[in-house]
Chains A and B, each alone.
Chain A
Amino acid sequence: MSSALAAASDAFVHRKRRGSELLLLALALAIGISAYAIIGLARDNEVPADLIWYGGGLTVLAVVAHLTVRFRAPYADPVLLPVVVALNGLGLAMIHRIDLSLEAADSQFGPFAPSQLMWSALGVTLFVLVLLLLQDHRVLQAYTYTLGLAGLGLLLLPLIPGVGVEINGSRVWANIAGLSIQPGEIAKVCLVVAFSGYLVVNRDALALAGRRVLGVDLPRGRDLGPILVAWAASMAVLVFQRDLGSSLLFFGIFVVLLYVATERPGWLVLGTLLFSSGAYLGYLFFSHVRLRVEGWLDPFGDPDLFDQIVEAQFGLAWGGLLGRGLGEGSPTRVPYAWSDFIATSLGEELGLAGLMAIVLLYGLIVERGLRVALLCRDSFGKLLSVGLAVSFALQVFVVVGGVTGLIPLTGLTTPFLSAGGSSMVANWAIIALLLRISHLARRPDPEVWTPGADEDTQVVKLR
């Protein structure tokens, strides 16, 4: 008897769980669609006539995504997609609700919901394409440097005169063919892939310990090159694009991946020190950084200047434990209630309970992403999924923490909720990548025919 084959068939085999996914999806759709209906009831006392289109559209998107997963990545994690659909649906409903207020106030902004629905569709299309075209995430490793360059290029794109657009003091937008996009969001995906590919190859050298300080093995001096380059790049983003959030996000992802690749906490310590000193220098030398810190420490000291933060705090308080109810608050008192501050808009109308649920949904995405990393059997896939999950965690922490007053405010989008195309598309791609890795990780080993003891060995008779 072959012990190898016996072991393989006894090994733990993950279930596909596509049925669970479908059930959760139905729940997620119910959240998004009923939110839309409630808003109509609250604003006009009737279920909106276009509910069927809105609900139908969202359902089609979800079903298409589900079918793609069912047939192209059947072993993928069953929780990620429903959570994302719930967030996307809730975001759409909230943006629609904000549109109604903006329209009533004859605002120069909006409407955002139609384009958001379109971007969601585009996001799902990319999601489907990734799952269809990318059979194995390891293929991406071949494009490490291409994607790295592309990511860097995209990141710096807004700095090119004529292309970059400065909005609210941050130069993170690019205007290409009439479309306003945030290339940083797409750069995020490219750079995570590039970091992973680079570190898989170079981890052994970087893992060599140098001096030991306070129980932490610091890396050797000659290995500091990559982290210093990443630090310089993130500082450039901070200085030239005035974007503390992206700066923290990119550097954070790099340092975390460095730590995972080398298993040396020394890199975390070093990275934290580098970023803190950089941020402190930024605080000393740049008034826009100082302003953000002041607005965080004491927004009520100058309520006119820090109007956005103050109104967001008032909105959250006004929401209280259970919220004013969808359509019943005044989220548009906060500038950019539909994008950067959508978390506080939801907090005002859905209350502490609703906002905590949303934060937990994000937490679920992150922990599921890290779970993919744990299960993944190849180093590149591990690093990639850790990078994607941590980028999510950092982004949510930075933006939700910023708008709720936990940390200084920085401009990042709230994944799947904020109005904005680049972020929507990039985040759907991230989920597709995670599902691809997850499928490969949870899939049972393919049955491989191994010539073994079971076969009657053909013995050449010598007689």
Chain B
Amino acid sequence: MNKPVRVLAVGCAVLFGLLLLNVNYVQFVNAGELNDDPDNRRVVDAEYARERGPIFVAGAPVAESKAADDRFEFLRTYNQPRLYSHLTGYYSYLYGSSGVERTHNDVLSGNDPRLLFNRVIDLVSDRQPKGGNVLLTIDQRAQETARKGLNDLPDDAKGAVVALRPETGEILSMVSLPDYDPRRLASHDFAKTTAAYKELNDDSGKPLRNRAVQERYPPGSTFKLVTAAAALSSGKYSPDSMVTGQATYRLPKSSTDLGNDGRGSCGGDQITLTRALAFSCNTAFAKLAAEDLGAEALREQAEAFGFGDDVIDDLPGDATSVFPADPDEPQTALSAIGQFEVASTPLQMAMVVAGIANDGTVMKPYLVKEERSPDLESLDEAEPEALSQAVSSAVASDLRQMMVEVTETGTGGSAAMSGIEVGSKTGTAQSSDERNPYAWFVSFAPADNPEVAVAVFVEDANVERSDVSGGRLAGPIARAVMEAVINQ
């Protein structure tokens, strides 16, 4: 009976070989993927046991870990919780993280391979290992101004403000309201944390969503900048080209008349393109797009500004702005004035203005300017990166001049600053008939050498459905933010 016994010996060896192969797979081959799983609490716990690095704005920590005397050694605290809630995000034991806490977790937690050397040194010298530092591009005054402006609007208005440095793409200010206090989610009192998360998550105002990058809205008349850019880039138009200024425009193949928000004509049957932009003339841009440029030219222009792209890496879950696929002629007409299915994040509209202000080059927006080791050695410094050449330098120059006209003679008067030329564009977009319209305002200044480009978006603004009123609401916020950046 020895032959079967030898066969079984081989069989058992095979079984044990399979066991060995499998544990090698799980603990070695697949280990990285398992450890990256956000559900893997062991990794989170280990991060919690380590001193997480701070997030800095202008030299002062806005998020830092402080010694705690409970079962975790450190508690994450936020020094200006609401002002920076959508930028730092939260860092919660139960609910993971968001914002920069999430996108730069490796450096903050100390897991980054570039910090390996520090970890080894800490181990040898028996020091507590620490996470690295993250420095934001935010201009503190602009940030405070933007939040105050939005917050002071009547009726608990929701909205977002984005300010960019056109030349680099640095985010100087980013505010989204309603916001929240990330300390409530970082708390170690888990009963309270759970209640807080439930409350925030169930809130119809969606305070956990960063409206500046995670939500898309119809951009309304601010999208006419893209339509105007497409018109100028086609070579068939100049700022002085004559376009229709009539009170209504019958949409192609339909019996629907498009008007100018009840303002009648835009100052004559034929007006210049500059005037059409200054007075936000719906009929002019709708006809121009539907009967001459076509949907494809509009889409190409929109995509050149960043529509359809994932534009920011420093914040998680950003929405992609879209121009509708294959619109027919009436839909194209509506798309040209930022209605129909055109949808844009406030960040994307800020990028359109920043691109125009930066001679047509759209820079990739970024929020983190530097990562440093716990010993303050620089690990990585952000390099400004061009995303695309949206329009030629000449077209950009024309558009800037046209936008200055909007401020000086048109709908954008509320952004005017004394002694500094400002380019701007207003917008009001219908979301639905039952809801209040969205108010938009985009601008840049100074016109001859732009230092800042701003997009202000007010959701659910309790105003009349007209560009002027939207401009009145959002314009002063944009002006205040621009002043905060320029007067430093």
**A binding-site residues for B, Cβ under 8 Å:** 256, 259-261, 263, 265, 300, 303, 310, 313-321, 329-330, 333, 347, 351-352, 355-356, 359-360, 362-363, 366-367, 370, 373-374, 379, 382-383, 386, 389-390, 393-394, 396-397, 400-401, 404-406
Contacts and interface: CB of A to CB of B under 8 A. Distances in A.
B3 A404 contact: no
A330 B37 contact: no
A394 B15 CA distance: 8
Interface in B1-54: 1-9, 12-13, 15-16, 18-20, 22-24, 26-28, 30-35, 37, 39-43, 45
23 contacts: A260-B5, A263-B1, A300-B37, A314-B39, A314-B41, A316-B27, A317-B30, A317-B33, A317-B34, A317-B35, A330-B42, A330-B45, A351-B27, A356-B23, A356-B24, A359-B20, A362-B16, A386-B5, A390-B12, A393-B16, A394-B15, A397-B16, A405-B26
Contacts of A356: 20, 23-24
A313 B42 contact: no
B22 A367 contact: no
A321 B42 contact: no
Contact of A318 (B5, B8, B23, B43): B43
Nearest to B43: A318
A359 B16 contact: yes
B190 to A, nearest CB: 14
A333 B5 contact: no
Contacts of B34: 313-314, 316-318
B4 A317 contact: no
B168 to A, nearest CB: 40
A164 to B, nearest CB: 31
B286 to A, nearest CB: 49
A356 B2 CA distance: 29
Contact of B9 (A370, A379, A396): A370
Contact of A367 (B13, B33, B35): B13
Nearest to B42: A318
Given A318-B35, A319-B27, A382 B1 contact: yes
Contacts of A400: 19
Contacts of B9: 367, 370
A318 B40 CA distance: 9
B12 A310 contact: no
B27 A320 contact: yes
A261 B33 CA distance: 47
A318 to B, nearest CB: 4
B5 to A, nearest CB: 5
Given A370-B9, A405-B22, 5 more contacts: A356-B20, A356-B23, A367-B12, A367-B13, A390-B8
B42 A404 contact: no
Given A314-B37, A320-B28, A404-B26, A329 B42 contact: yes
A176 B5 CA distance: 38
Contact of A310 (B4, B7, B23, B39): B39
Contact of A263 (B4, B32, B41): B4
Contacts of A300: 37
A412 to B, nearest CB: 14
Nearest to B71: A104
Nearest to B37: A314
B19 A321 contact: no
Contact of A401 (B12, B19, B42): B19
A314 B40 contact: yes
A261 B43 contact: no
A3 to B, nearest CB: 26
B12 A404 contact: no
Nearest to B12: A393
B10 to A, nearest CB: 10
A282 B54 CA distance: 56
A31 B15 CA distance: 26
A122 to B, nearest CB: 28
B116 to A, nearest CB: 15
